[in-house]
Amino acid sequence: MLNPDECWNSILQRDKNCDGRFYFGVLSTGVYCRPSCPARRPLRKNVRFYEAPAEAASDGLRPCLRCRPLDASIAAATAAAMGSLCRYIEDNIGRTVTLDELAGRAGLSPAYLQRLFKSVVGVSPKHYVDASRIRKLKDELRTSKDVAEAVYGAGFGSSSRVYERSDGRLGMTPGEYRKGASGVAVTYAPIESSLGLLLLGATDRGICFLQFGESVESLVAELRREYPAASLEPMSAPCPREFERWVNVLNQYLEGQELQPELPLDVRSTAFQMKVWTYLQSIPNGRVESYGEVAAGIGQPGAARAVGRACATNRVAIVIPCHRVIRGGGELGEYRWGVPRKRALLDLERGRNARSTAAKAVETSD
């Protein structure tokens, strides 16, 4: 957590060394700034502190025009530093890389590095280590003579450790992946929604497929293309309570309520896709970011095109909200399930935000 007293002292001193480490918002003017901002110092009672610009923006604050807290040079320097740590992790994936070791390389405290790394890359250092090992494991599984050799080649100390970490990252156990998903059971059911037909597919670990389409037959064919060696079965009636809960959450979202974040996912991904998809889930409902902003947000500012490809290959609509990514010029851009649906989803979320703001205003006036 940020220390308010230390942050305030940095603002009083206009400490440039703290630029990029935190931001402060001025509620009376509606802007947020760098600690070194040359503007007149605000009253302490009007100041709030934030670890990242997105947090300030979520409170309705806009970037200061004097200190320009989103200046690309500072963002790029921070992204480059975190990108260097990512490469260090990948180069040393065969051994344990600790948070203290990474903090020492960056010249930061472990606690601050933990926050900064997550704000830039989108996941914690530990999560990134796990994801890099899973990616290495996938490569090893394709070339090693057996699963055990692949597990140890990817830097896991034992087979039990990799099986624990495979859920939601590899999308299946190592043996299943090696066999091309043969034997993995995926059940599915259609959902009639206000935005058209959806097909929800799930394993026993979570949602692996959620897509819009014109017919059940075409959606099942798409599900088959995504998981060619899996065993596909229509959901039996009555459906399991957990599956029913997922459907209810999705329907409530499409009726204007906020999407519940605890919906479990079981998706196969590369480490890069995982970074992008995790970051997308951190974008608040109703807000949008450009492909370039997402690329900078995950610590790879030159990867805007790759971000676009990660969005295009998303297999789980809504829950992984690729509809919140737009072009740099403000245009909506493409959407796998049609631009009208993308616009409708954003309008739905913005409408919910507007109703929430209005309700809070009424409560305040009362």
Asked about 33 being catalytic, the answer comes back as yes
Cβ 28 vs Cβ 43: under 8 Å = yes
- Catalytic one of 7, 18, 67, 322: 322
Catalytic-residue membership of 322: yes
In whole angstroms, give the CA distance from residue 254 to residue 251.
5
Question: Beta-carbon neighbour count of residue 302 at 10 Å?
Answer: 12
Angstrom distance (rounded) from CA 52 to CA 44 = 20
Question: Which entry of 33, 37, 67, 86 is annotated as an active-site residue?
Answer: 33
- The backbone torsions φ and ψ at residue 15, rounded to the nearest 5 degrees and listed phi first, read -75, 110
By the 8 A CB rule, do 263 and 294 touch? no
- Hey, which residues does 233 pair with through a beta bridge? 187
Query: Is the separation of the CB atoms in 37 and 64 below 8 Å?
Result: yes
User: Which element (helix H / strand E) includes 172?
Assistant: none
Give just the sign of the alpha carbon dihedral 260, 264, 265, 271.
positive
Q: Measured between alpha carbons, how far is 31 from 328 in angstroms, rounded to an integer?
A: 22
- The residues carrying an active-site annotation are 33, 322
